Structure 1
Amino acid sequence: MWISLVQTLQAVEKKPDQVSISELLEAGFPPHLAAAWKEKAKQPPENFIQWKRSLKGKEANLVAKVWKLKQITVYIQQPLNEGERSKQRLVETKNVNHQPHSGTDRNFPRDTKTKNIKRNQTFPYTTDPPYELFFGMGYQNLDVRYLPREEKNHSSVFLGGKGKGQIWILEKRDETFSYGTNLTFQQFRFTSGNRYKPIPHFYFAKDPNFYSQLERTGSPLPQPILFSNFLGYRYLREGKEYEFGMYQSAAFSAYPGIYFVSPNKSYSAVWSAGENKSSLYINDSWNSQDLGNHRIQAESIFDKKESVGFFYLKSESPASKLFLDATVYRDSPLLYGMVSPSEVRPEIPQVLGYTRGSFKHILGFEFLSSIEGHRYENGRSGFLPFFFSEWGNLLYRYREYNESGNYQWNEIGRAAFYEWRKEKTVVSFGFESRENGGQWEGKLALPIDNGNLLEFSAIFREGHPKTRAWFENWTYATDFNINLTDRQEIFKLKWVSPFISLNISYSEKENDPNPILFINFQLLQKIDL
């Protein structure tokens, strides 16, 4: 009976890799966090502990919750001296308390001089993670009349390997062969080629003909770049890693410069003194019991010729059911040498700001303002429920559209639509009536098990509306974005998983025989050796 009881208690405990994706999702994990858990669980235990310790805010709370509920146990095999080799043993590190802001663990003592775990609790002696081989391909087609053929179709194939902190890739992009390496030697990192860089910037040295939708935690496929080199020093302080060093990238600046990366890659910056050109990246979140949960995303390029970038803020208070999204960006033809060609390229710079606030997603307001050359547009709207329930809401929306500069026009839109929003899940469709026509709108963002994400957005305009539509969109950089469009029809479909991605967009203008069709397909296959 006693043996049976012990076996039962032991069966309750789990190792990180014994927790399934479905269990993580049921506990409230977003797909990207569940995928990160499974990826880190394959690595040595100390890597999993370090990753857990690096989390912040809501993600840290979710991981701590599952850690406690599932009674996670991590076993770390210790290095033994000559007198202890015959007495090998496992030291159990159990129920490690996460301290999001301290960067240390009370149950995982560290020696600050060696930056390792203390003797007989330092340098965990574990088998190396399996070497990973990966390969895949990508294809994209931009079907636009009169566009040169070499700009319509692009394809790529690649082969790479990852293990022991090193990663390499060989690629063929169209007719060009390239390589990428990310090498770490103790505290030093060296990256070279057309794929890897220590900074998470999307804009930096972007290859204008290629991009990756498979960039996520643990993925060997970050954004493709033009040839760049980085040499940096990784500085570990209280369990947090900082990195700074030098870079050279003719695609970004004719002169070399310096870069900096904060722990968790929440903040990073590059600067070239020769051209006085810099770029800043922010992706951070924080929680407050009184003020709610907040997240900011931003990226910008500051240049004396022309500066571009965006800023996005998401705030929510689960207790009071208040939600806020705000974004501002400066779009420019300069930017489209660095981003996906699926977007309609502006002829002149545009500055746009948008704010949406709501209570329980059923009662709220919107403001939008745009300056594009001599064209000024702004508007405001409010929405309230006809009917609401846990299965979604029927809403009425009143919106004012104003345009000045090239035209002088004011227009009123009245809409009825169904909507359901929860975290990253959005289901919305409806019809808006205007004085000179109307528009059908549809939006869908659906996280699916095992790290899959399905997104769809569409708009269909009837009649001859004088002002542009506010098109809610998901783009390459932010969780949320909104744009102005005068296109008669737009359909966008995106499906992303850890190993495959598909992106299709179609749009056409009124009385224009030149629609735009964009298709991008990417495949990634991993093999553990």
Structure 2
Amino acid sequence: MWISLVQTLNAVEKTPDQVSVPQLLQAGFPPHLAATWKTKAKLSPEKFLEWKRSLKGKEANLVSRVWKEQEINLYTSKQRFHGNDSPNSKSFKYAKDIKSKDIPTKSLEGSDSLYELFLGMSYQNLDVRYLPRKEKNHSSLFIGGRGKGQIWILEKRDEDLSYGANLTSQQFRFTSGSRYKPIPHFYFAKDPNFYSQLERTDSPLPQPILQSHFFGYRFLKEGKEYEWGIYHANAFSVYPGIYFVSPNKSYSAVWSAGENKSSFYINDNWNSKDWGNHRVQSESILNQKESVGFFYLKSESPESKYFLDATVYRDSPLLYGVVSPSEVRPEIPQILGYTRGSFKHFLGFEYLNSLEGHRKESGRSGFFPFFLSEWGNLLYRYREYNESGNYQWNEIGRAAFYEWRKEKAVVSFGFEARENGGQWEGKLAIPIDNGNLLEFSAIFREGQPKTRAWFENWTYATDFNINLTDRAEIIKLKWVSPFISLNVSYSEKENDPNPILFINFQLLQKIDF
């Protein structure tokens, strides 16, 4: 393993300062970004890495693409193995981080690294009247460690003890227990009482699962790692099956032949100078009895003028409590599709269609500005609501609101007037440096609107989601960082004294040796 790592690192000798300005401009860099690259390249490797990780959106995509095309490494082989850069030094750890995260050759789990101990806890409370106490409160404690490609964890979830192990070699992987699996699926064998908001790149806390076992073969093809193998997870299927994982875990699939049940996962993006930036996310469980899942597409033109968001999902009681237990659980399956297109986020359209049993709802809207500024826009929205299932009803909504959008940052609030009432809407998403994210969304309905509201919020699996709600009030707050997360949700129905309050707190502490 060590010889293979040395050979791989020695094959990459180009450092950031060896990339010329003409090369950067030819790759699509705007002049200011090319100048910043050359300035940061003169600093220490650690400073250049910090700058690279701070980039967002289009600039981050450009830098990552040049990084891969030019096969850049922060350290030459001579720097890595002489002077202060010994295999156990902090600088050498930075070199391995870059190699594993920014050049997709070998996974981080397969490389040698310093040993890391991690520990933490989670607590959640679902406050609903008449719900049994054992379903209201859930808590967990855990401790684990990882190093040299091996990860383990011991947990206490409520009153149950569990374990997780992820053991890897150059060619084989074995995972067992209730935490680790080679596939990134959120739905697969999910523990209905727990979920992790601290799962992210290089996190030791993937989604909690019910007991599962995987054994796979890992192989490199054209410098990219693939994996396939066999598994058994009784929570997914009583029969064993096979699985496959693509490089960077962008695509993966599981299949159980005995039950003819499968699950697919996609999380990929494409960046083109001529065609713009596109991202697709999808996850599904396909079964003869009932299939569920979602598909999400986000597209942006090369000049960042035109934007498109499109999502379709099939929601079902089968998923609960797979998704966040703070959500209102459907009694019957629902199929919903939503599309939003815009020019610079201030001129655009929306379309929604939903089928839930005999209840059919659809709508369309257009919005345009009546005041524009670099600090945000004042927009007017005209929206039609239609219900054609249980009864025939058409309703018109006219809204005025303030909105500012940039990359993943969103600030928006306003009021929509309808024939039988109205609603206040608000949403906020603020990405903060060092991996922190603050999200807020709320809706307050007045009067007695005949159709449900389109409520934009954020879920674990996708960057964006929208659903229908008839609740009089919903407030959601989420703060996530690399070591702590807080999720609070409050909702209530009109003329109902039984509101729903959901609180989830998670903590992760890592210690390097």
Asked if Structure 1 and Structure 2 have the same fold, meaning a TM-score greater than 0.5 normalized by the shorter chain, the answer is: yes
Aligned to 1:160: 144
Aligned to 2:88: none
**1:460-475 matched pairs, under 5 angstroms:** 460-475=444-459
Q: What CA distance in whole angstroms lies between the structure 2 residues aligned with 1:392 and 1:460?
A: 23
Aligned to 2:74: 73
2:255 matches 1:241: no
Q: What CA distance in whole angstroms lies between the structure 2 residues aligned with 1:313 and 1:528?
A: 38
TM-score of the pair, normalised by structure 1: 0.82
**1:492-511 matched pairs, under 5 angstroms:** 492-511=476-495
Q: What CA distance in whole angstroms lies between the structure 1 residues aligned with 2:478 and 2:52?
A: 24
Amino acid at match of 1:426: V
Cα deviation 1:453-512 (Å, max 9, x = unaligned):
000000000111110000001001100000000000000000000000000000000011
| Aligned equivalent of 1:171, options 142, 155, 164 | 155
2:56 matches 1:29: yes
Q: Call closer, same or farther: CA 1:474–1:10 in 2, change over 3 Å.
A: closer
Aligned to 2:498: 514
Q: What CA distance in whole angstroms lies between the structure 1 residues aligned with 2:487 and 2:304?
A: 37
Q: What CA distance in whole angstroms lies between the structure 2 residues aligned with 1:214 and 1:255?
A: 31
Offset, 1:385: 0.1
Amino acid at match of 1:348: I
Instruction: Confirm or deny: 8 A CA contact 1:58 1:286 kept in the other structure.
Output: no
Q: Secondary structure at the match of 1:171?
A: strand
Q: Secondary structure at the match of 1:18?
A: helix
Offset, 1:390: 1.3
Amino acid at match of 2:77: I
Q: Which runs of 5+ in 2 are unaligned?
A: 1-37, 82-91
Instruction: Confirm or deny: 8 A CA contact 1:378 1:403 kept in the other structure.
Output: yes
Instruction: Confirm or deny: 8 A CA contact 1:471 1:484 kept in the other structure.
Output: yes
Q: What CA distance in whole angstroms lies between the structure 1 residues aligned with 2:68 and 2:434?
A: 19
Offset, 1:20: 6.2
Q: Secondary structure at the match of 1:512?
A: coil
Q: What CA distance in whole angstroms lies between the structure 1 residues aligned with 2:67 and 2:171?
A: 32
Q: Call closer, same or farther: CA 1:362–1:186 in 2, change over 3 Å.
A: same
| Aligned equivalent of 1:444, options 423, 428, 432 | 428
Aligned to 2:47: 18
Aligned to 2:203: 219
Q: Secondary structure at the match of 1:17?
A: helix
Instruction: Confirm or deny: 8 A CA contact 2:174 2:216 kept in the other structure.
Output: yes
Amino acid at match of 1:63: S
Amino acid at match of 2:395: E
Identity score, percent: 77
Offset, 1:399: 0.2
Instruction: Confirm or deny: 8 A CA contact 2:52 2:63 kept in the other structure.
Output: no
Offset, 1:129: 2.6
Offset, 1:287: 1.3
Backbone CA RMSD of aligned residues: 2.8
**1:124-523 matched pairs, under 5 angstroms:** 128-319=112-303, 321-523=305-507
Q: What CA distance in whole angstroms lies between the structure 2 residues aligned with 1:182 and 1:267?
A: 20
**1:45-56 matched pairs, under 5 angstroms:** none
Q: What CA distance in whole angstroms lies between the structure 1 residues aligned with 2:66 and 2:245?
A: 29
Offset, 1:101: 13
Aligned to 1:62: 63
Instruction: Confirm or deny: 8 A CA contact 1:29 1:62 kept in the other structure.
Output: no
Q: What CA distance in whole angstroms lies between the structure 2 residues aligned with 1:208 and 1:10?
A: 50
Q: What CA distance in whole angstroms lies between the structure 1 residues aligned with 2:224 and 2:59?
A: 19
Amino acid at match of 1:129: S
Instruction: Confirm or deny: 8 A CA contact 1:13 1:73 kept in the other structure.
Output: no
Cα deviation 1:285-327 (Å, max 9, x = unaligned):
0012221110000000000110000000000014160000000
Q: What CA distance in whole angstroms lies between the structure 2 residues aligned with 1:231 and 1:60?
A: 34
Instruction: Confirm or deny: 8 A CA contact 1:25 1:449 kept in the other structure.
Output: no
Instruction: Confirm or deny: 8 A CA contact 2:272 2:302 kept in the other structure.
Output: no
Q: What CA distance in whole angstroms lies between the structure 2 residues aligned with 1:15 and 1:251?
A: 49
Amino acid at match of 2:180: Y
Aligned to 1:525: 509
Q: Call closer, same or farther: CA 1:60–1:394 in 2, change over 3 Å.
A: closer
Q: Call closer, same or farther: CA 1:20–1:233 in 2, change over 3 Å.
A: closer
Instruction: Confirm or deny: 8 A CA contact 2:364 2:383 kept in the other structure.
Output: yes
Instruction: Confirm or deny: 8 A CA contact 2:104 2:248 kept in the other structure.
Output: no
Q: What CA distance in whole angstroms lies between the structure 1 residues aligned with 2:437 and 2:39?
A: 36
Aligned to 1:49: none
Q: What CA distance in whole angstroms lies between the structure 2 residues aligned with 1:380 and 1:188?
A: 51
Q: Call closer, same or farther: CA 1:420–1:318 in 2, change over 3 Å.
A: farther
Offset, 1:384: 0.2
Q: Secondary structure at the match of 1:282?
A: strand
Instruction: Confirm or deny: 8 A CA contact 1:396 1:416 kept in the other structure.
Output: yes
Cα deviation 1:147-182 (Å, max 9, x = unaligned):
010000000000000110100000000000000000
TM-score of the pair, normalised by structure 2: 0.84
Instruction: Confirm or deny: 8 A CA contact 1:396 1:415 kept in the other structure.
Output: yes
Cα deviation 1:382-417 (Å, max 9, x = unaligned):
000011111110000000000011121110000000
Aligned to 2:18: none
Q: Secondary structure at the match of 1:351?
A: strand
Q: What CA distance in whole angstroms lies between the structure 2 residues aligned with 1:522 and 1:424?
A: 23
Instruction: Confirm or deny: 8 A CA contact 2:192 2:321 kept in the other structure.
Output: yes
Q: Which runs of 5+ in 1 are unaligned?
A: 1-8, 31-56, 81-90, 105-114, 116-125
Q: Call closer, same or farther: CA 1:224–1:77 in 2, change over 3 Å.
A: farther
Amino acid at match of 1:18: K
Q: What CA distance in whole angstroms lies between the structure 2 residues aligned with 1:325 and 1:138?
A: 33
Aligned length: 456
Offset, 1:16: 3.8
Cα deviation 1:23-73 (Å, max 9, x = unaligned):
3466x336xxxxxxxxxxxxxxxxxxxxxxxxxx9755223668999x973
Aligned to 1:42: none
Q: Secondary structure at the match of 1:19?
A: helix
Q: Secondary structure at the match of 1:61?
A: helix
Q: What CA distance in whole angstroms lies between the structure 2 residues aligned with 1:362 and 1:142?
A: 38
